[in-house]
Amino acid sequence: MRVLITGGAGFLGSHLCDRFLAEGHQVIAMDNLITGNTANIEHLAGNPNFLFIHHDVTNYIYIEGKLDAVLHFASPASPIDYLELPIQTLKVGALGTHKALGLAKAKGARLLLASTSEVYGDPLVHPQQEDYWGNVNPIGPRGVYDEAKRFAEAMTMAYHRYHHVDTRIVRIFNTYGPRMRQEDGRVVPNFIAQALRGEPLTVYGDGSQTRSFCFVSDLIDGIYRLLMSDEIEPVNIGNPAEMTILQFAEKIVELTGSRSDIVFVNPTDMRIKDDPKVRQPNIGKAQRILGWEPKVPLDEGLKATIDYFRKVV
């Protein structure tokens, strides 16, 4: 296949490039580098099956030749990013998705939309499964990301129903691994960077809020399987092994061998407003339809991630 990956220089996009090239496909990565980094794909330079295009997908997308698939992964994806880039986040979810779908329609290509567990908001159902409609504050600071992704899902289904574009939607839960940005603002790079520097690990609130962490290679495998499947409606991809943020902080201290303390803070900024208290995917649908479930144990994935951060912190 010949595939376009928007956001291809980002954390997940670059790993997708690797997977599709490893499977023998041709890959075009497109990124405006607002949050992506060419360092993530520099190892692909010179590969005859790889092409990078510096472009903002909220503008018209032109690709010469045939395309078999478009994977739309362009978007800021952490609270720090979308609090600093609220308009860009909304634009890439709305205009960027519109342009990607228009390209897929013109090329007769399949489109896979990267959606998110954030469409469930601060959930009133636990664990979250695909038929839950969510509990989102549309005018809160996180709404720019949550509603951009919810709109992107609606537009994707509209193009499927009205224009008969062949579409897929993946709802991605917390994912970690090499190539995450240390200034990302999310809990994994925050804690690892603090531990490696010998700084206190800052836990917001009392640390009782929960998350579940999926290693990037498992996530990429689930996305690849979904693209190759016949499933039209959204599918959760994530690791259902749930733990508290405090437990996660203790795990990072243990695995890094750090002497860092764990401190509890109550920031007054917008980073934690509407922050979900629980987050755990129901992956029954992915297990049934894709034959997928995560395989990488947390300790193994974290060790690989810590090794990466030792080189960049």
Q: Please list the active-site residues.
A: 145
Check if the beta carbon of residue 111 is closer than 8 Å to that of residue 165.
yes
CA–CA separation, 105 and 86 (whole Å): 28
Burial class of residue 132 in the structure, from the number of CB atoms within 10 Å of its CB (0-12 exposed, 13-18 middle, 19+ buried):
middle
Check if the beta carbon of residue 260 is closer than 8 Å to that of residue 307.
no
Alpha carbon distances (Å) from 67 to 103, 229, 237: 9, 18, 25
CA–CA separation, 285 and 288 (whole Å): 5
DSSP state for residue 75 in the 8-state scheme: S
Three-class SS state of 74: coil
Residue in 92, 119, 83 with CA at minimum distance from that of residue 33: 92
Q: DSSP readout, 252-265?
A: HHHHHT----EEEE
Burial class of residue 55 in the structure, from the number of CB atoms within 10 Å of its CB (0-12 exposed, 13-18 middle, 19+ buried):
middle
β-bridge pairing 262-265 and 201-204: parallel
CA–CA separation, 147 and 66 (whole Å): 32
CA–CA separation, 157 and 169 (whole Å): 9
Residue in 203, 194, 276, 269 with CA at minimum distance from that of residue 242: 276
